[in-house]
A and B are shown apart, each in its own frame.
Chain A
Amino acid sequence: MPAILEVNHLVKNYGSFNAVKGISFEIQSCEIFSLLGPNGAGKTTTISMLSTLYTPTSGDAIVCGYSVTKEPMAVKKCIGVVPQDLALYEDLSARENLNFWGQMYGLYGKTLKIRVDEVLEQIGLLDKAKLKVKTYSGGMKRRVNIGVGLLHKPQLLFMDEPTVGIDPQSRRAILDSVKELNKNGMTVLYTTHYMEEAEELSNRVGIIDHGELIAIGTQDELTKSVGETDTLILHIGEEAVPEILAEEVRKIKGVLKAEVTDHEVSIITPSAEELLALVVSHANHLSIKIRSIEIREPNLEAVFLNLTGRALRD
């Protein structure tokens, strides 16, 4: 299957700050590819370069066969962009917004009307299309925000953290809609810092941190790369100092890593069940109250932790 997106050594510098440090990857047609990384990792900067909004400092990307640096207008015709923040005219209705954005994508007349109706149907707002966007709930606004990116039936859809700051129900609806779009043949580049979303949606995942693509592959490939390890997560009381427990736990045989995030201690070990009793004993000895214990099998969080020494939420 041909690559719809080829990223070649893409670099973006702001003065002395290197936001993106020469990343390269490919996305195949009809694939959902997630760029997973914490806030500030360089996800939005990467999408901004791929959508021709920023000019790369060096490197290039080929989108639908066109160079983002040399043929930006051709690239724009082939992509749809769903930005992280709402980018809508809230004083206008959903229909007025879609009408306007459709025209910006080169749709007019009957074609525009048909597509606007189809998108309104698709995002479930056909009956509320005449209401001003500012009267919508946060989830409804997000749906319109996505709908704008779908108007011209793009071959490649960039979705930049589309679920940030919304309720679980709307989040579920958005994830389902991404899967539905992909089922209908759309290729999606999805950025997120939620491991669960990347796991649920993606055919392949690229893990990005500090502007570098530090791992890429299917979920299986990535989890296998860190070995058959479990993650034991201890949620401790707010009065306790988690670093003290992490320090003690690192001394236990069989602990590969122990990292602290807020009031959690994440321990990577080949066998969490065998280690559990010993860890609890250490906590009791240090008078640290454990509020709950969670054992996770190998996942992308563990991959990120293993690769960076930090949790995704850091």
Chain B
Amino acid sequence: MKKIIAISIKDTLVRFTSPVEWLFFLILPIIFTLVIGSGSGPSSDNRVKMLVVDQAKNSLSETLITSLQASSSVKIELETLEEATSRLDQKKVAAVLIIPDNFNQESLQKQTAELELRQLPNNTDAMIAHQAIQAVLSRVSSVVDIANSSVARAESLPGIKFESESARQAFFDASLQEAQTLMAKSPNRIIEVQGNTKDSIEFDPRSNASAGQLITWVFIPLIGLSGSFAYERQKGTLRRLLTTPTSKGLFLSGTIIGQVLTAIVQMILLVLFGIFVMKLNWAHAPLALAVMLISSALAAAALGTMLGTFVKTEGQASGLSIMFGMVMALMGGCWYPLELFPQTVQQIVKIFPTTWAMQGLLDVVLRGQGIMAVLPEAGVLIGFAVVFFIIGIMRFKYE
């Protein structure tokens, strides 16, 4: 046991001699977790920000602004022309809507009303703002159209004749008011998009990012365990070690256990970051979490051991571990929810341990489940570990 500990400590010392290792061990995982986790969630407002300059300041412009405020696509802020222009020039917003002072019911009735939309070229947010304004304008125009139709219909009825233009305008205003009231009460048209998922729990980008980045940044160095073996072979230290009273089994155990323990420390630090900084629900089922962390680390370390039988140099191992780690993380749902993938792909990616690790960790952090729920995932991961370890140890090259 003392030799296993000595080998593990030596590997840790060798690994962390370069300060760059801390970048991959903790700094990048945290940065990526924060960046990816800051995406839209169930409670976040992801509407496009748009500035509105109200030069008309009349009831119609207020109607327009109120309708825009109710929009699910844009989030508006009222600004002066100078400030709005300045922020657009600095590309802080994608679109500015200017309501000119001649925008009123008269101009609307005469169809001479014009709005000015300034937007950033080739910008998706600006396009969304444009569409949102068109939708709102259509709604506002409909109200005016309804009022105009009411006046025309009244004038066509026998026995009804407006005595003066002001009386006619009063009828128009009353019709407009009524139309606005009815329109406000009418239900919005809702298009429901059904996600390709059976999951009843709502997607949470922060939980997904925390679990996904944990797996990504722990799997890559563990698969890179193959590099440790190649390093020992290249440096001649493995050959020398085998001339000491240390068995091959002790060497493999020390190297693997050391890397697995380091990975578990890394995972615990990332989980603590999730708990204390991101306020995620990692801590509610410690046993389930521990089972998932250990089984994930073992599966990845076993994959690294198996890969170690194929690689000849440390450089090869480094390249392959990054490639395998990234591809498996991407395909395993660590970067994007698996539910975004077609059903066939969702079935195929079950060949990757990352898929099972991710689902198990989401069971804990997102779905709030306990040990019984994660046992299937943990069982599959242990299965991966057993198969990979058997192949890796049987085929291990000591020369």
Enumerate chain A interface residues (CB-CB to B < 8 A). 51-53, 73, 76-77, 79, 81, 83, 85-92, 96, 100-101, 103-106, 108, 132, 148
Please tell me if B237 contacts chain A, counting CB pairs below 8 Å: yes
Please tell me if B91 contacts chain A, counting CB pairs below 8 Å: no
Q: How many residue pairs between the two chains, A and B, have CB atoms under 8 Å in the bound complex?
A: 62
Closest to B244 in A: A104
Point out the residue from A79, A85, A90, A96 that lies within 8 Å of B243, measured CB to CB: A79
Let me know if B244 and A76 touch, CB within 8 A: yes
Closest to A108 in B: B2
Annotate B235-248 by CB proximity to A: 1 below 8 A, 0 otherwise. 11101111111110
Let me know if A101 and B243 touch, CB within 8 A: no
Let me know if B245 and A92 touch, CB within 8 A: no
Q: Give chain A nearest CB distance to B273 CB in angstroms.
A: 28
- The interface residues of chain B lying within 8 Å CB-to-CB of A87 are 235-237, 239-240
Closest to A80 in B: B243
12 other contacts beyond A87-B235, A87-B236, with CB at 8 A cut-off? A52-B243, A77-B245, A81-B240, A81-B243, A85-B236, A86-B236, A87-B239, A89-B14, A89-B237, A90-B235, A104-B246, A108-B2
Q: Give chain A nearest CB distance to B257 CB in angstroms.
A: 15
- The interface residues of chain B lying within 8 Å CB-to-CB of A100 are 6, 10
Task: A238 to B6: give the CA distance in the assembly, Å.
Answer: 56
Residue among A76, A83, A100, A106 with most chain B CB within 10 A: A100
- The interface residues of chain A lying within 8 Å CB-to-CB of B18 are 91
Task: A108 to B3: give the CA distance in the assembly, Å.
Answer: 10
Please tell me if B13 contacts chain A, counting CB pairs below 8 Å: yes
Task: A86 to B244: give the CA distance in the assembly, Å.
Answer: 16
Task: A148 to B240: give the CA distance in the assembly, Å.
Answer: 10
Please tell me if B164 contacts chain A, counting CB pairs below 8 Å: no
- The interface residues of chain A lying within 8 Å CB-to-CB of B156 are none
With contact pairs A86-B236, A108-B2 given, residues A96 and B241 touching in the complex (Cβ less than 8 Å):
no
Point out the residue from B17, B243, B244 that lies within 8 Å of A91, measured CB to CB: B17
Enumerate chain B interface residues (CB-CB to A < 8 A). 2-3, 6, 10, 13-14, 17-18, 235-237, 239-247
Q: Give chain B nearest CB distance to A50 CB in angstroms.
A: 10
Point out the residue from A53, A105, A148 that lies within 8 Å of B239, measured CB to CB: A53
Let me know if B17 and A92 touch, CB within 8 A: yes
Let me know if B235 and A76 touch, CB within 8 A: no
Let me know if A88 and B17 touch, CB within 8 A: no
List the 8 shortest-distance A-B pairs measured between CB atoms, nearest first.
A87-B236, A87-B240, A103-B6, A91-B17, A104-B244, A81-B243, A76-B245, A51-B243
Closest to B15 in A: A91
Task: A53 to B244: give the CA distance in the assembly, Å.
Answer: 10
Closest to A90 in B: B235
Closest to B5 in A: A103
- The interface residues of chain A lying within 8 Å CB-to-CB of B6 are 100, 103-104
- The interface residues of chain A lying within 8 Å CB-to-CB of B244 are 76, 101, 104-105
Closest to A101 in B: B244
Task: A265 to B14: give the CA distance in the assembly, Å.
Answer: 51
Task: A91 to B13: give the CA distance in the assembly, Å.
Answer: 9
Q: Give chain A nearest CB distance to B319 CB in angstroms.
A: 21
Let me know if A106 and B245 touch, CB within 8 A: yes
- The interface residues of chain B lying within 8 Å CB-to-CB of A81 are 240, 243
Task: A137 to B51: give the CA distance in the assembly, Å.
Answer: 68
Let me know if B14 and A83 touch, CB within 8 A: no
Task: A51 to B242: give the CA distance in the assembly, Å.
Answer: 9
Let me know if A76 and B243 touch, CB within 8 A: yes
Q: Give chain B nearest CB distance to A304 CB in angstroms.
A: 29
Closest to A134 in B: B17
Q: Give chain B nearest CB distance to A105 CB in angstroms.
A: 5
Let me know if A73 and B245 touch, CB within 8 A: yes
Q: Give chain A nearest CB distance to B242 CB in angstroms.
A: 6
Let me know if A104 and B2 touch, CB within 8 A: no
Task: A101 to B17: give the CA distance in the assembly, Å.
Answer: 18
- The interface residues of chain B lying within 8 Å CB-to-CB of A52 are 242-243
- The interface residues of chain A lying within 8 Å CB-to-CB of B13 are 91-92, 96
Closest to B10 in A: A100
Ordered by A's residue number, 7 sampled pairs between the chains whose C-beta atoms are within 8 Å are A83-B236, A83-B240, A86-B235, A89-B10, A96-B10, A103-B2, A105-B245
Closest to A97 in B: B10
- The interface residues of chain A lying within 8 Å CB-to-CB of B17 are 91-92, 132
Let me know if A104 and B236 touch, CB within 8 A: no
- The interface residues of chain B lying within 8 Å CB-to-CB of A83 are 236, 239-240
Residue among B3, B18, B241, B242 with most chain A CB within 10 A: B242
- The interface residues of chain B lying within 8 Å CB-to-CB of A79 are 243
Task: A108 to B241: give the CA distance in the assembly, Å.
Answer: 17
- The interface residues of chain B lying within 8 Å CB-to-CB of A105 are 244-245
Task: A104 to B247: give the CA distance in the assembly, Å.
Answer: 10
Task: A86 to B234: give the CA distance in the assembly, Å.
Answer: 11
Task: A244 to B181: give the CA distance in the assembly, Å.
Answer: 118
Q: Give chain B nearest CB distance to A133 CB in angstroms.
A: 11
Point out the residue from A51, A89, A101, A104 that lies within 8 Å of B235, measured CB to CB: A89
Closest to B237 in A: A87
Q: Give chain A nearest CB distance to B240 CB in angstroms.
A: 4
- The interface residues of chain B lying within 8 Å CB-to-CB of A85 are 236
Task: A53 to B2: give the CA distance in the assembly, Å.
Answer: 23
Residue among A53, A81, A92, A103 with most chain B CB within 10 A: A103
With contact pairs A73-B245, A89-B10, A96-B13 given, residues A103 and B240 touching in the complex (Cβ less than 8 Å):
no
Let me know if B239 and A104 touch, CB within 8 A: no
Task: A73 to B321: give the CA distance in the assembly, Å.
Answer: 35
Task: A105 to B2: give the CA distance in the assembly, Å.
Answer: 11
Q: Give chain A nearest CB distance to B274 CB in angstroms.
A: 32
Q: Give chain B nearest CB distance to A152 CB in angstroms.
A: 8
Point out the residue from A53, A91, A104 that lies within 8 Å of B3, measured CB to CB: A104
Q: Give chain A nearest CB distance to B398 CB in angstroms.
A: 9
Task: A77 to B247: give the CA distance in the assembly, Å.
Answer: 12
- The interface residues of chain B lying within 8 Å CB-to-CB of A132 are 17
Q: Give chain B nearest CB distance to A231 CB in angstroms.
A: 37
Let me know if B237 and A103 touch, CB within 8 A: no
